[in-house]
Amino acid sequence: MYAIVDIETTGGHASANGITEIAICIHDGKKVVKRFETLVNPQREIPIYISALTGITNEMVKDAPPFEDVAADIYHLIHGKIFVAHNVNFDFSFVRYHLAAAGYDLQTNKLCTVRLGRKILPGLPSYSLGKLCKHLGIDNQSRHRAMGDAEATAELFTLLLNSDTDGHIKQSLKLGSKDQVLPPNLSKKDIDQLPYTPGVYYFHDQKGKVIYVGKAKNVKKRVSSHFTGNNPGFQRQEFLRNIHQISYQVCGTELIAFVLEAIEIKRLWPKYNRSLKRFENAFCLYAFEDQRGYIRLAVDKYRKYSDPIYTCNSLLDGYNLLNKLIETFDLCPKLCFIQKNNELCTGAAGSSCACEGVEPPESYNAKVNNAVDQLKQALPTYAIRDEGRTGDEHSCILVEKGQFYGMGYISHYFDANNVQQLKSYLTPYPGNDYIKNIVATYASKYPDRMVVFG
């Protein structure tokens, strides 16, 4: 038995919206044998644009029962049957959420007439309910009302049952079938083609634009995990509706996938990525010449298109580094913005310091340049040589003078002991402290995979 359900709501996600109308058609596999419909008081205002679409007004639902008063009837009608709807995850998320709020745990198999339509009736220009009904000659005089759409979906479902010569419906109901959890506009073929390897995957919208980038140790397993559960939140429901295609890049290691994900998020700026979008180098060490000709060092927030000497994770890290340079190279704490009062300079030179104009710019600047040169020379240059995508190659990541340079794949027979020669085989990419830190952490964990350049 099938429960064909359609609902009208106050908005697009269950956790912050109510149901205003629900209709259920019980279908025995041949025809509708029972019907149920009711308006529902959502106990919140119905937005004007929703009323314009459905025709359901606040006045109409004022005396209607709240959902909890009809929850028992709805649960007993649906329980034990296969839940069918056009874009089933939307209707199911609402009904299950509001049943749970009323104390009922709905657990049932689902069928989506959007997905089934694409499989059983391929090649149609649109699979929206209105366009399908028009194309197939299904009459629906009450569009955007629950019973009108439920009856139309029931007629569509009968047609799909009778046209399903390849057993798509039976296959969708099999234990472990992914069809019940996949987004309505995503083909199962996109899931079937995914590899069980490390990589980066891309979710595309209807126009092919990338809306999400992710990384994984096992691409197929990770992508499938996006579609499990029934989170009723707006962001998840909108996210699932907008996924139309999946593409991917195989990576040799999880580390390569981590780095490529960060690069691709910065390059593509996908709508649904959050965490790595805003990542920037936090603080940097800068050098500039003041009006008197003295080179001054300063720790400041990272500025785009600037040319820092060194990047730091925090202001404290920056000040610790600067204090070490002051002590080691006899620099002036006032000219480095460490000492900011008007008292006598606390540096080693004291009253004979450059800040007092005693030490000339030429000799002081030589000390600053020496400090900067020593700092840059201390930054490591190394490569991480690791597993490749195939058995006859290695992956390779290059860090040059402490900064991420790029990555790629090299032959087993390539001797990666010359930086300039190695760079010709790698693709350079923009880096940041996030990439630098995950590569450095990996290098410290697996020193045997490092090739250090002198």
* Best-predicted range by mean pLDDT (67-81, 235-249, 423-437): 67-81
Amino acid at position 189, single letter: K
* 235 pLDDT higher than 80: no
Provide the pLDDT for residue 245.
93
- Would you call 363 exposed, middle or buried from its count of C-beta atoms within 10 A (0-12, 13-18, 19+)? exposed
* 56 pLDDT higher than 60: yes
Q: Please report which confidence band the pLDDT of residue 358 belongs to, taking 50, 70 and 90 as the band edges.
A: confident
* 244 pLDDT higher than 80: yes
Q: Are 65 and 29 in contact (CB under 8 A)?
A: no
Percent of the chain with pLDDT over 70: 94
Eight-class DSSP state of 277 = T
* 313 pLDDT higher than 90: no
What confidence tens digit (pLDDT) does each residue in 428-444 have? 998 877 888 899 899 98
The greatest distance separating any two alpha carbons of the chain, rounded to the nearest whole angstrom, comes to 100
Provide the pLDDT for residue 25.
96
Q: Which CATH superfamily is domain 2-173 in?
A: Ribonuclease H-like superfamily/Ribonuclease H (3.30.420.10)
Question: What tokens does 112 get?
Answer: 């989506």
Least confident of 151-165, 254-268, 274-288, 370-384: 274-288
Provide the pLDDT for residue 230.
57
CATH 3.40.1440.10 for the 188-268 domain, yes or no = yes
Q: What mean pLDDT comes out for the span 342-352?
A: 74
Q: What is each CA distance from 37 to 26, 152, 329, 418, in whole angstroms?
A: 12, 14, 83, 75
Pairwise CA distance, residues 448 & 217, whole Å: 21
Domain locations along the chain: 2-173, 188-268, 289-378, 381-453
Q: Are 375 and 325 in contact (CB under 8 A)?
A: yes
* 392 pLDDT higher than 80: yes
Question: What tokens does 156 get?
Answer: 């569509």
Provide the pLDDT for residue 148.
93
Pairwise CA distance, residues 378 & 331, whole Å: 19
82-85 and 110-112 strand pairing: parallel
Provide the pLDDT for residue 125.
86
Q: What mean pLDDT comes out for the span 395-403?
A: 90
By three-state DSSP, how is residue 136 classified? helix
283-289 and 110-112 strand pairing: unpaired
* 421 pLDDT higher than 80: yes
What confidence tens digit (pLDDT) does each residue in 142-163 have? 888 999 999 999 999 999 999 9
By three-state DSSP, how is residue 172 classified? helix
What confidence tens digit (pLDDT) does each residue in 99-139 have? 999 999 888 889 999 989 989 999 888 888 988 888 899 98
Q: Please report which confidence band the pLDDT of residue 176 belongs to, taking 50, 70 and 90 as the band edges.
A: low
Q: Are 213 and 219 in contact (CB under 8 A)?
A: no
Question: Global pTM?
Answer: 0.61
* 454 pLDDT higher than 80: no
Amino acid at position 71, single letter: A
Q: Are 19 and 42 in contact (CB under 8 A)?
A: yes
Question: What tokens does 129 get?
Answer: 């309910």
Beta strand extents in 257-371 (DSSP E only): 283-289, 295-301, 310-312
Q: What mean pLDDT comes out for the span 207-221?
A: 94
Residue 222 burial (CB count, 10 A): 17
Q: What mean pLDDT comes out for the span 52-66?
A: 93
Those residues whose C-beta lies under 8 Å from the C-beta of residue 2, and which sit 6 or more positions away, are 26, 27, 28, 29, 81, 82, 84, 111, 157
Pairwise CA distance, residues 334 & 349, whole Å: 12
Those residues whose C-beta lies under 8 Å from the C-beta of residue 233, and which sit 6 or more positions away, are 13, 15
HSE at residue 194, side-chain half, CA atoms within 13 A, is: 26
What confidence tens digit (pLDDT) does each residue in 9-38 have? 998 778 788 999 999 999 999 999 999 999
Q: Pick the closest to residue 287 from 364, 380, 401 (CA basis).
A: 364
Provide the pLDDT for residue 12.
78
* 251 pLDDT higher than 90: yes
Q: What is each CA distance from 383 to 12, 394, 405, in whole angstroms?
A: 49, 12, 10
List, in sequence order, every residue forming a beta bridge with 453; answer none if it has no partner. Answer: 381
* 355 pLDDT higher than 70: yes
Provide the pLDDT for residue 413.
79
List, in sequence order, every residue forming a beta bridge with 195; answer none if it has no partner. Answer: none
